[in-house]
A and B are shown apart, each in its own frame.
Chain A
């Protein structure tokens, strides 16, 4: 059972460019989550998928952010027209289901730096 994987691990981009991150969850997990984390803070919820359906998106999330999970397996998170305030660690997590199966397991994260 391989863990959650994320690519790339690091991304440096210039302000105004678009970036896309990929997350591959644990194979039998049908739930996938995206978070953003900045220094000294806990993970901030961005969005959540159950299979291919995006069921929840943070109200704080700008329209520049979009996520997909087209076949209910891997997911992508795209940020358009990046801003310096987007610099953060982007974390992906997956879980099997609800209740005791709701435990989330994290990937290594993608660190984004916007210059």
Chain B
């Protein structure tokens, strides 16, 4: 079992719909959770982080964390073609090291 698991996709969503991306992790001691977006050939860029159970909203993005079930999700409302990218989930296992999922490829269809 991988430490951080994501469905590789591709996940295809119509423009304007809600895209839902999921990530599960194995270490119950994980404290910090991050979502990064990566366009093809580019480096990862931070979308948002979450530390506490519940929801965190930032514009069209909402991160949801459920530590009891060991999953974190990212919702993208009003999806745009520019949201088409690979979304990487990263979990903080200690105070510095992040464990990364392999990413979910998201395609927004106009």
Contact = CB atoms under 8 A, between A and B. Distances in A.
Interface of A: 31, 33, 40-45, 48, 50, 55-56, 89, 91, 95, 98-100, 102-109
Contacts of A109: 42-43
Contacts of A41: 102-103
B8 interface: yes
A40 B104 CA distance: 9
Contacts of B51: 100
Interface of B: 4, 8, 32, 34, 36, 42-46, 49, 51, 88, 90, 92, 95-98, 100-103
A89 B8 CA distance: 19
A106 B44 contact: yes
A33 B88 CA distance: 17
A91 B43 contact: yes
Contacts of A107: 43
A102 B96 contact: yes
Nearest to A31: B96
Contacts of B101: 42
B88 A42 contact: yes
Contact of B46 (A31, A40, A103): A103
